[in-house]
């Protein structure tokens, strides 16, 4: 008997569907270098800001439906990025305007975007430690975005996955929209990092 989308774990479905894009984004990420410079970090922050700032305003429409976290970190990332850039001496930031953003018209679309963003927090923890070890005090006041939820990051990731699975179980017909939105989000980061 064939397994339907609604009978699978949504996390595994997204992970499988986005794996090639995720790998390309990892390679393009300016912080994937063995020893990223401060310029690489500045570029990384600018790239992330190009996505985060416009998408945060759209996510707010659906965020009240998401009960997986009491942290508002997911909706204030652009502020953290701007503060980090300012602490690095970057004040005037010009963003690309031709980036094709994911479509956000439903809670399901929002979950696909949040899957990528919440997952990037896990990677942010690794990058935070890596940059702090390489650049030390020169950068310590410019890492708030990567620090994210700090030691609670994994707990929030697990809570998000549980919430997304619960949503998927209640609304199996929306799994394709969740997956498509995650694909669009990774594709957006691929454009940004190029």
**Domain boundaries along the sequence of the chain:** 36-193
Q: What is the mean pLDDT of residues 70-95?
A: 81
Q: What is the mean pLDDT of residues 76-89?
A: 92
Q: What is the 3-state secondary structure (H, E, C) of the chain?
A: CCCCHHHCCHHHHHHHHHHHHHHHHHHHCHHHCCCCCHHHHHHHHHHHHHHHHHHHHHHHHHHCCCCCCCCCHHHCHHHHHHHHHHHCCCCCCCCCCCCCCCCCCCHHHHHHHHHHHHHHHHHHHHHHHHHHHHHHHHCHHHCHHHHCCHHHHHHHHHHHHHHHHHHHHHCHHHHHHHHHHHHHHHHHHHHHHC
- In the prediction, which pLDDT does 95 show? 73
Flag whether the pTM goes above 0.85: yes
Instruction: Decide yes or no: CATH 1.10.10.60 for domain 36-193.
Output: no
Q: What is the mean pLDDT of residues 88-99?
A: 80
- In the prediction, which pLDDT does 70 show? 53
At 134, the pLDDT band (50, 70, 90 cuts) reads very high
Q: What is the mean pLDDT of residues 22-26?
A: 95
- In the prediction, which pLDDT does 143 show? 96
- In the prediction, which pLDDT does 137 show? 87
- In the prediction, which pLDDT does 182 show? 97
């Amino acid at each position: 008997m064939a397994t339907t989308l609604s009978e699978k774990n949504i996390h595994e479905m997204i992970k499988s569907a986005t794996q090639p894009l995720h790998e390309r984004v990892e390679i393009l990420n300016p912080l994937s270098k063995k020893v990223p410079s401060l310029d690489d970090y500045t570029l990384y922050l600018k790239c992330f800001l190009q996505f985060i700032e416009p998408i945060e305003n759209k996510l707010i429409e659906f965020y009240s439906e998401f009960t997986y976290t009491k942290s508002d970190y997911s909706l204030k990332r652009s502020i953290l990025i701007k503060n980090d850039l300012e602490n690095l001496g970057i004040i005037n930031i010009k963003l690309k305007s031709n980036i094709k953003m994911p479509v956000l018209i439903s809670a399901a679309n929002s979950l696909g975007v949040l899957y990528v963003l919440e997952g990037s927090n896990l990677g942010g923890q690794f990058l935070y430690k890596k940059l702090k070890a390489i650049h030390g005090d020169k950068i310590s006041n410019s890492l708030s975005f990567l620090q994210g939820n700090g030691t609670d990051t994994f707990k929030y990731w697990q809570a998000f996955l549980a919430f997304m699975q619960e949503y998927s179980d209640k609304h199996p017909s929306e799994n394709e929209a969740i997956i498509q939105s995650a694909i669009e989000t990774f594709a957006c980061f691929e454009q940004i990092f190029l």
